[in-house]
Amino acid sequence: MAVRSSFLIPQRSRDETALLISTYQKDHEILDSVFRERGWTLYSARSTTCASAILQQNPGIRVVFTEQDLSGEGWKDVLGLVSGMADPPPLIVVSSVADDRLWAEALNLGAYDVLAKPFDAEELVRVLQSAWDRGRTGSAAE
């Protein structure tokens, strides 16, 4: 299997973890593939209830991805969930309608970024690494 060199990223010394909250199986498959290829850890949830349990059991999760709409809930519910944590991880909203309105609203309310679907692996990795780096400096800056 050939791997494009632009996707090769040096391994970091610390385990990189994230949580994906989405009702779309394709989202889980794509992110799982990107994470496994790099030796990173991805937790998966399909609701905020499940996500809350995963976050409580795995306090080392350093980034949370959430679908814009989650069957009666939405990204703002997830933002409320992570904002209540002692060391809240950056939240990245994913949407097939990632327009300027969503981007502005999400950033103004405290999300880290918005990613458009379908996912572009290079953009996904760039945003994810930036969020992990922000999480490192954000924790140290207190």
Structural domain boundaries in the chain: 17-136
- According to the model, what pLDDT value does residue 142 have? 35
CA distance 53 to 115: 24
CA distance 135 to 89: 7
CA distance 71 to 68: 10
Select from 3.40.50.2000, 3.40.50.720, 3.40.50.2300, 3.30.1340.30 the CATH code of 17-136.
3.40.50.2300
Does the pLDDT value for residue 14 go beyond 70? no
Report the pLDDT averaged over residues 32-48. Answer: 95
Q: Tell me: the pLDDT tens digits for 41-96?
A: 999 999 999 999 999 999 889 999 999 998 888 999 999 999 999 889 999 999 99
The 3-state DSSP composition of the chain as helix, strand, coil percent (nearest 5) reads 45, 20, 35
- Nearest partner of 111 among 133, 139, 129, 88, judged by Cα: 88
Average pLDDT over all residues of the chain? 85
* Entry pTM: 0.84
Strands (E), 33-75: 41-45, 64-67, 69-70, 73-74
- According to the model, what pLDDT value does residue 1 have? 36
